[in-house]
Amino acid sequence: MVQVETSQLTAECNAWRDALRQYRDEFSREKSELQQICSHQLSKDQLQEVEHLHNQLHIQLINIHDLRHAIKSHARQIDFEMNVNSGHLREETLAAHEMLFDQYQSLDLTLHDLRHEFNHFLSVTTTS
């Protein structure tokens, strides 16, 4: 077992969850915005892009939910181990923390790219 600064690990978990919550809120608004765009006259290509973006937003909202849940469970595990093991964490828990960080970074990059793609679509569609 390893003794670590759990407040740092917990703060990281909270920061990840907060960032994912912001993405969730943003992407939920964007899904609604896509529905409003569909009320306008759109070309076949634009309709295909709307469908693509809608599907991607839906998939990423699921990914956000799943990762937020995993992070929340991990934070609970940290708290549990700290209380039961006199301030020590198992190596497996630290490894899980690193794995979650990697997953968070990967998803963050994907979400950033989707945000850019959505904003580009909006700029092209609203000026047409």
Give the whole-angstrom CA distance, residue 91 versus residue 78.
Answer: 11
pLDDT at residue 107 in the model:
98
Q: Under 8 Å CB-to-CB from 38, ≥6 apart: which residues? A: 47, 50
Question: Domain locations in the chain?
Answer: 2-38+45-127
For the chain, 128 residues long, the average pLDDT of each consecutive 10-residue run is 74 97 97 90 92 97 98 96 86 96 98 97 81
Give the mean pLDDT of the chain.
92
pLDDT at residue 125 in the model:
86
pLDDT at residue 2 in the model:
53
pLDDT at residue 38 in the model:
86
- Kindly state the helix (H) or strand (E) to which residue 128 belongs, with its residue range: none
DSSP helix, strand, coil percent of the chain (3-state; round to 5): 85, 5, 10
